[in-house]
Amino acid sequence: MEIEELKAIWQNYDSKLDNLEKLNKKLIMDTLSKKPQKKINWMKYRSLYALIATPIIILVALHDCWKIENIDFKFIIGCFLTLITIVYLCYVEFKSFMILKDVDVSNDSIIESSKKVYIFKSIYANRLKYDIMSYPILFSGVLLIAWKSFRFDTHTILYMSALFIVALFWGIKQYKRRKEKIDQLHKEILDLNEYAN
């Protein structure tokens, strides 16, 4: 009888320990998943901001050029080049936003979250080669739209060249920093796998 009672007490304590271990893992998982989720929310916000702000900034920056007397062949080509680049940038940001919108680290499985972040990571990895093409196209388009506003002398040409080079290198630097953050986020999500079970 004593052995049966001891077995019952032992099983009771064992089930309580199992429940405590599950609760501990859940609490740890909830706590650890907050940091990656914050990063995902920030990246989602950045994608949405870029999606909305890019066309608005270009329209506002060039608002003085939108006059009937400025319309000529250069202006039309500039609008076409600028529009193509803006559509591409908005498409990439919208696609990124839609992928990140579906990531919920605390409710999805780790594998599911990891797959979604990996898709976002692969989209972003291809972006550098397209950004290196889109910067000159956008710059050329804006230059052609505002062509009549410029007085082309040595100072203006040097200023425009410096502006182009600085913008290109700044874009590459931003790309690398953001890529590191995405890689770190992916690693943090994979590290959560230890506490998922």
Query: Is the separation of the CB atoms in 62 and 145 below 8 Å?
Result: yes
101 is a domain residue: yes
Supply the pLDDT for residue 16: 72
21 is a domain residue: no
DSSP labels for 110-177? HHHHHHHHHHHHHHHHTHHHHHHHHHHHHHHHHHHHTGGG---SHHHHHHHHHHHHHHHHHHHHHHHH
Count of domains forming the chain: 1
Supply the pLDDT for residue 195: 59
27 is a domain residue: no
137 is a domain residue: yes
User: 18-22, 135-139, 172-176: which has the minimum mean pLDDT?
Assistant: 18-22
Whole-number mean pLDDT of the chain?
A: 79
17 is a domain residue: no
Q: 160 is in which domain, residue-wise?
A: 41-196
Percentage of the chain beyond pLDDT 90 is 1
3-state secondary structure 128-147: HHHHHHHHHHHHHHHHHHCH
16 is a domain residue: no
User: 48-57, 82-91, 124-133: which has the minimum mean pLDDT?
Assistant: 124-133
33 is a domain residue: no
